[in-house]
Structure 1
Amino acid sequence: MKPTTRGTLAAVVTCVAAAVATPAVAVEGVPVAVPLDGVEKSLNVEMPTVGGTVPVLMPGSPEGPRYVEGRLLPDRTVPQLPLTSDLPSLDLRTPLPHLPGGSSDHLSAATPASDLRALTPGASLDAPLTAPRADSLGLPGTKLPEAGLLTPVLQTAPGAVLGLGPGK
């Protein structure tokens, strides 16, 4: 096979792979609906409607270890992994009994999707040895080992809406 044919084939395969992978990356949430139509028709009763979205977690790139002078192991030996997503959304609408003189016969509750940012736990460790010392012919000294846990982080601003209204 000629080099130009190989190059053309590689370019085509790369473009096809990029076109196939792009829609999977663009999805932010999977819509979910609870099917209650069969129950509503069989019992001849108005049923609640329930739906929402389930978010897709998108991992980020972890911050690499930082080398610190005087330590054998780098700081943040087990790095924290950043994650971004949306909180799940929920839409609920249910019928209420007819109240005399009232025009509201449905109750609705909704929690819109809101941004979610998180960092997984990490660890910072150090060996029980010091850096090589000149006064002991280049051998390391001993010290107490160090271990630390990097706490997880969770940032979001959830919200909810509750309402009364007429009809479907």
Structure 2
Amino acid sequence: MKSTTRGTLAAVITCVAAAAGAAACVTPAAAIGTVPVPVPLDGVEKSLNVELPTIGGEIPLPTPGAPEGPRFVEGRLIPERVVPQLPVAAGLPGVGLRAPLPEVLGNDFNHLGLDAPASDLRTLSPGLALDAPLTAPNPDRFGLPDLRTPQAGVLTPVLQAVPGADLGVGEGL
């Protein structure tokens, strides 16, 4: 085997190994489309010598989809959806809060927790539908189009989400 062939083979194997290693390092946050955001309160907690709540959040990453293209309809000169609606999938931000709750009797602490996970959000941007003030060529008028009133319409935007939250009290911190 020539040295150039061995060098090329070594480069290919190195690239494949690097790609496999990068695929294994994908974080779960990137897989679900949210970025975790912790709120660091450790310095305040240590300086004041008090138990403070732990707070964290999730920020969704919007991902645009492919718009449905214009549809040609018989009898219209302009396609049905001139400006198509753009779908965007994202999520509502999530929050997690866990605050210490002192017991009335005793030295132990309980906690109050609020968990509102990031929920899916589906949207469609507004679209536009137009029709020309002319009809298709009319054979009775020697191929000339007929006149009619122009038509314009706005396709309404869509917003769909199912948010949820969980509020509870429990033992321990």
TM tier, shorter chain?
0.7 to 0.9
Cα distance, 1:47–1:101 mapped onto 2, change above 3 Å: closer
TM-score, reference length from structure 2? 0.74
Which stretches of structure 1, 4 residues or more, deviate above 4 A after TM superposition? 21-27, 101-104
Give the counterpart letter for 1:63 in structure 2. E
Count of aligned residue pairs for this structure pair: 154
Alignment of 1:136 with 2:141, yes or no, is yes
1 CA distance for matches of 2:158 and 2:56?
Answer: 29
Alignment of 1:61 with 2:61, yes or no, is no
Give the counterpart letter for 1:35 in structure 2. P
Structure 1's unaligned 5+ residue stretches are 1-7
Q: Is the 8 A contact 2:108 2:172 kept in 1?
A: no
Alignment of 1:159 with 2:164, yes or no, is yes
Percent pairwise identity = 61
Structure 2's unaligned 5+ residue stretches are 1-7
Alignment of 1:95 with 2:100, yes or no, is yes
Q: Is the 8 A contact 2:138 2:146 kept in 1?
A: yes
Q: What SS class does the counterpart of residue 160 from structure 2 fall into? A: strand
Which one of the candidate residues 120, 125, 141 is aligned to 2:125? Answer: 120
CA deviations on 1:101-160 (whole Å, 9 max, x unpaired) are 797632100012333222221111112222222233323232111111111222232211
Give the counterpart letter for 1:75 in structure 2. E
Q: Is the 8 A contact 2:102 2:109 kept in 1?
A: no
CA deviations on 1:71-115 (whole Å, 9 max, x unpaired) are 111111111112223332210111234323797632100012333
Name the structure with the higher strand share: 2
Q: Is the 8 A contact 1:103 1:165 kept in 2?
A: no
TM-score, reference length from structure 1? 0.76
Q: What SS class does the counterpart of residue 135 from structure 1 fall into? A: helix
TM-aligned CA deviation for residue 60 of structure 1: 1.3
Q: What is the RMSD computed on CA atoms of the aligned residues? A: 3.0
